[in-house]
Chain A
Amino acid sequence: MKHTLRNPLALIGFAIIAGILLLALIAPWIAPYDPNAINVKAILLAPEANHWMGTDGLGRDVFSRMLYGGRISLLVGFVAVGIATLIGIVLGAVAGFYRGWVDTVIMRTVDVMLSIPTFFLILAVIAFLTPSIWNIMIVIGLTSWMGVTRLVRAEFLSLRNREFVLAAQALGAKDARLIFTHLLPNSLTPIIVSSILGIASAVLVESGLSFLGLGVQAPQASWGNILTDGKEYIQFAWWLSLFPGLAILLTVLGYNLLGDGLRDAYNPRSNQH
């Protein structure tokens, strides 16, 4: 942690994420308007005292929509990465612990999955399902577990023959005990780092899908679909496109800075310099 604190960029990342999470959490209390309330008397207002980020084509308050949209975008990131990490840990642990043919089958499946352009795969599935936030989370989760699997497997392979593991095994520890109390806790740091970086790319993918009209559906707000709405008005309502884009940028930047900083702090090879 001391190393992380010494890296100013990681600190900036942490501050950004903490701020955005806080805003998303307290959204219902600080949002000045109902995010879906249509007001025909206040269509496409530029940012002003009553509407900090202006209003959209239906007179909805953009600031309120941004707050609620943030909840959706962040939730998608968390759940999608949660699913991917869970799958990755299970498959990686099985492959790295038992090796042999199970390992071969799992790793060849990883090879196959990695050879298909991911965004194509997501698009192919999403387009056939009814677009909903749950479907998006599941599909992003199911198409991004390969990295974690490789990571966990590599950690397990290198820890498997270390003295403390062999000692525990010699004392009669069962497989499950070895995995859950010895191997997994010692592999947690790289898993956390890769999850943080994973959230960043999940947020990007969600916004891209919503932008293509295949993501979170109206009237529910997400940063991606506020931006899509803004696309239609870009010539006379810049605020509709600017704010959601900046929000996505800041979130992804925050997670990446934090993840990268943590990786540097815990990676002995980058500490020695």
Chain B
Amino acid sequence: MLKYLLKRFFWMIPLLVGISLISFMIMHLAPGDITSSEASFNPKASEESRQKLRELYSLDKPVIVQYSLWMKRMATLDFGTSFASHQRPVFWQTKDKDGNVTLGMIQEALPITLLINVLSLILIIAIALPLGVISALKQNQLTDRVITLFVFIGFAIPGFWLALMLMYWTGVQHNWLPISGLQSLGHEHLHWLGKTLDTLKHLALPVFISAITGLAGIALFVRNGMLEVLHQDYITTARSKGLNEHRVIYGHALRNALLPLITIFGLSIPGLIGGSVIAESIFAIPGMGKLFYDAVLMRDFPVIMGILTIGALLTLIGNLVADVAYAWADPRVRRGVMQ
């Protein structure tokens, strides 16, 4: 097991190098750099000053040189500083001579996106599990069809459209929920409980929307997994030895049907991170998606590269954790891995 883990862990390094190489090439093959976007805000910027800026950021060198410079810094875990946001560190905080701490951009954005995704995953499980199980138990009956249709509609709803509609309905028309940002005015004067409630209120819509649109895959997966397990011999055995149906379904079938879900969660990480762009721009939430969107528009290369790298790293770690958890939960897989 340990050998397998080590092998998987070291395999992540060439993968990460590959990912960063692809990201870097794509970014630099396309026209435009930070100087072209700065110039659009400042018409007085001359070609000469733009050239100076390019030299400052090494943008005048060939792509492969720029990439090796980037790799050299990455080897010391230095993600560099942002071009666009006053030289803020891309990844982690730095301290200057006077002891003033500047927070890293990803350091600030990542926990927000993670929080939204974890909350929505919890909501997804809470809704999708019962829906999938009921659907499987009532296979091909009306209940099953209705649930499946509902789940498919959730999958087909464009998230940004639902966001827009709900924002208008709950926020503008009824004023039930705040519609942008993470904190109300005067947030800092609140008691800690008030602070938590305030943030949760701001998160309600984004979390709900990401849960509704992410529900389908999990619910259908639970349904199909249950159907497959329910036709296995050991379920027939359990029934014929007189166990009540409740024990058969929740004790024997469900646990086995749920196993593959572990892998699904691991695989869904890049989708979740990627999906954060639109929701975060609509609700003006300062998470990874919004950070990335802004960076892309500004052609802020270090930030783009930093987010792509961290996103990919999270994906790889997610897959690894999922595989390990699966092996831990299922002895058959564990034996396969060992061999």
Contact = CB atoms under 8 A, between A and B. Distances in A.
Given A115-B15, A119-B274, A249 B227 contact: no
A45 interface: no
B271 interface: yes
Given A123-B296, A273-B139, A128 B160 contact: no
Nearest to B167: A234
Contacts of A231: 164
Nearest to A255: B156
A24 to B, nearest CB: 18
B270 A115 contact: yes
A68 B27 CA distance: 33
Interface stretch (B59-67, B80-88, B145-153, B244-252): B145-153
B292 to A, nearest CB: 6
A123 B292 contact: yes
A120 B271 CA distance: 10
Contacts of A204: 156, 158
B289 to A, nearest CB: 8
Interface stretch (B98-106, B195-203, B309-317, B325-333): B309-317
Interface residues of A, number: 49
Contacts of B312: 115-117
A128 B27 contact: yes
Chain B interface category by residue count: 35 or more
Contacts of A248: 156, 158, 161
B308 A124 contact: yes
Contacts of B281: 212
B224 interface: yes
Contacts of B158: 204, 207-208, 211, 227, 245, 248-249, 252
A117 B270 contact: yes
B270 A252 contact: no
Contacts of B186: none
Given A120-B308, A208-B278, A114 B160 contact: no
A37 interface: no
B172 A115 contact: no
A1 interface: no
Interface string A250-270: 111100110010000000011
A253 to B, nearest CB: 4
A23 interface: no
A112 B152 contact: no
Contact of B153 (A211, A234, A249): A249
A231 B278 CA distance: 14
B32 interface: yes
A123 B227 CA distance: 39
Contacts of A212: 277-278, 281, 293
Given A114-B270, A124-B27, A108 B292 contact: no
B297 interface: yes
A235 B172 contact: yes
A252 B161 contact: no
A119 B15 contact: no
Interface string A195-220: 00000100010011001100000000
Nearest to B319: A115
Nearest to B157: A249
26 contacts: A9-B152, A113-B22, A117-B315, A118-B274, A119-B274, A120-B273, A120-B292, A121-B23, A121-B26, A123-B292, A124-B27, A124-B304, A124-B308, A127-B297, A207-B160, A212-B277, A241-B165, A241-B168, A244-B161, A245-B162, A245-B164, A249-B158, A257-B152, A270-B227, A273-B139, A273-B228
Contacts of B297: 127
A235 B292 CA distance: 29
A71 B227 CA distance: 39
A115 B231 contact: no
B274 A120 contact: yes
A272 to B, nearest CB: 7
A166 B74 CA distance: 50
A72 B164 CA distance: 23
Interface string B287-311: 0000011001101000010011001
Interface in A215-251: 227, 231, 234-235, 238, 241-242, 244-245, 248-251
A260 B151 CA distance: 12
A115 B316 contact: yes
